[in-house]
Structure 1
């Protein structure tokens, strides 16, 4: 199958979709802080049960037509993607936020563009890695600034135990690995299944992830460390529904649309939008202005994305 062409006039639309997805996905970093009464597994189950039910309702009028577009092997792919990009990823992300904070978790996951660009540089028609090194170096510099701020200059850092910070950092690294594998596999699956629309693929992914959440629900209820009252369960239901609609339905659709407009090396860079918005929401939640080193990190990240865009426009020209 011939690789799809990525003409220059598709890049602005693809970038707009990527920024929109990042703005919506940044909200998922706030959810674990808002739902701190619940364990990461409970937060993930709540979000993806809602995602699965919304997906089923959306697909119901066109059920037979959509089911005829995919086979058994595609369902297996959806199951793996649901685990990597949704269930496992969100459990680890929630653990990172609750143990290490929003800023630390978002900066670690922000390394995703570097990982995806390194993998995508080997794809057919991709920009060579030698043209991406300025973007990668700028991105690494920005991530290094945020890492320093999170571990040595963060607000109320002394109140966190070393074990909690270490556990949060480990969860964030696991989330980075899980989402990196998802980003690469999902982009290639979309390219292979060109007859399935971006939204239908997103809704099918919601069905697969919702089924995983339903299977995990009995275990979560049986081993729940804390008993919750009705008000807490109601808050979790509202939070899960909001995150499922905004991040899983709308955010994923924008991301899948972007994946069909941009090459993998550039689409990987667009995940930085999620990092920026996650930091912005974190600053608003903590009611503080970013520190100087955090501002420097943002400048470096913007320069890194701009450098990557320039490399792709030069490649197309």
Structure 2
């Protein structure tokens, strides 16, 4: 039993790392289509996510209709809002108004908030055993923020509240999604991801009128083509593949570890950023990278010891 639990932890961490590989690509999307607004990118990405999910769900639609209830549909709509539509809207606007430093510092507390909630679960590891891991996580967040302090912002207070909103939104999603998956063992993680995609796509459709009425800039055909390719690419990589890996991880790991796995997104976003900017990391960025890696390994070690005790 203990051996199986250790194996689940290792597999879960690998799935979490895989999700980070694909989720980290999201941070490159605004750089690839700078002519478009954050809301346009949100709608484009999640509309593509919804369409792809619909295409993949059609062959098994009769089965999916029988396996989900009205209560689960409400859960899907809520999770789609918290983890996709609302979170990404708050995040992208927090970066624009509050700057990278402020946003990264606030969101660096995601593993802390999720772990604190997870520590209240039955048979969960005691929170005091996770403080070394959480301390590394906080140190990494401060290193990232300190490096980006030169980023100027005209609306720091608004940016702060948006970042706090994003933190609360994704914390609620991580906890709710993990617990929903544990309640629905009859649904595969792939099917759950497709259903989440349908819910997210529905919300993206509702946002289209807002985009139309708030956007004044016209774009040439070649810019729309590039935007479409980026939206579809991010939807496939981050939303279809990345979310599927994350859901698989959520079924294998306790909630006290789930929050830590979001650090892989930060790690790979840093790597992609260095490659995009064609530069080596600065000293503080290296320190942040080391601290985040140490946080994950420390978390895994604490859970291994908890299982063995």
Normalising by the smaller structure, the TM-score range is over 0.9
Q: Is the helix fraction higher in 1 or 2?
A: 2
The corresponding residue for 1:197 is 188
- TM-superposed CA distance for 1:293, in Å, is 1.4
The corresponding residue for 1:70 is 68
Secondary structure at the aligned position of 1:226 is classed as coil
Q: Distance in 2 between matches of 1:168 and 1:17?
A: 32
Q: 1:24 aligns with which of 22, 25, 33?
A: 22
The corresponding residue for 2:269 is 278
User: Judging changes above 3 Å, is the alpha-carbon distance between structure 1 residues 108 and 27 closer, same or farther for their aligned structure 2 residues?
Assistant: farther
- TM-superposed CA distance for 1:104, in Å, is 5.8
- TM-superposed CA distance for 1:98, in Å, is 4.2
Q: 2:154 aligns with which of 163, 183, 206?
A: 163
Secondary structure at the aligned position of 2:252 is classed as coil
Larger mean Cα displacement after TM superposition, 212-221 or 92-101: 92-101
The corresponding residue for 1:311 is 302
Q: 1:55 aligns with which of 46, 53, 56?
A: 53
Larger mean Cα displacement after TM superposition, 199-208 or 106-115: 106-115
Q: 1:84 aligns with which of 74, 82, 85?
A: 82
Structure 2: gaps (5+ residues): none
Q: For the aligned residues, what is the CA RMSD? A: 1.9
Q: Distance in 1 between matches of 2:127 and 2:65?
A: 39
Q: 1:39 aligns with which of 37, 44, 55?
A: 37
Q: Distance in 1 between matches of 2:70 and 2:132?
A: 42
User: Judging changes above 3 Å, is the alpha-carbon distance between structure 1 residues 233 and 164 closer, same or farther for their aligned structure 2 residues?
Assistant: farther
Indicate whether 1:265 and 2:256 are aligned.
yes
The corresponding residue for 1:289 is 280
User: TM-score when scaled to structure 2?
Assistant: 0.93
Q: Distance in 1 between matches of 2:171 and 2:262?
A: 10
**Cα contact 2:108–2:138 (8 A) shared by 1:** no
- TM-superposed CA distance for 1:148, in Å, is 1.4
Structure 1: gaps (5+ residues): none
- TM-superposed CA distance for 1:166, in Å, is 5.5
Q: 2:6 aligns with which of 4, 8, 23?
A: 8
- TM-superposed CA distance for 1:94, in Å, is 2.2
User: TM-score when scaled to structure 1?
Assistant: 0.91
- TM-superposed CA distance for 1:113, in Å, is 0.9
- Cα displacement string for residues 23-58 of structure 1 (whole angstroms, at most 9, x for unaligned residues): 100111111222221111111110111000100110
Q: Distance in 2 between matches of 1:311 and 1:167?
A: 38
Structure 1 stretches of at least 4 aligned residues deviating more than 6 Å after TM superposition: none
Larger mean Cα displacement after TM superposition, 250-259 or 278-287: 278-287
Indicate whether 1:132 and 2:123 are aligned.
no
- TM-superposed CA distance for 1:76, in Å, is 0.6
**Cα contact 1:106–1:278 (8 A) shared by 2:** no
- TM-superposed CA distance for 1:92, in Å, is 1.9
Indicate whether 1:245 and 2:243 are aligned.
no
The corresponding residue for 1:228 is 219
The corresponding residue for 1:172 is 163
Q: Distance in 2 between matches of 1:100 and 1:239?
A: 25
Larger mean Cα displacement after TM superposition, 217-226 or 44-53: 217-226
- TM-superposed CA distance for 1:243, in Å, is 0.3
Q: Distance in 1 between matches of 2:7 and 2:200?
A: 34
**Cα contact 1:106–1:279 (8 A) shared by 2:** no
Larger mean Cα displacement after TM superposition, 240-249 or 128-137: 128-137
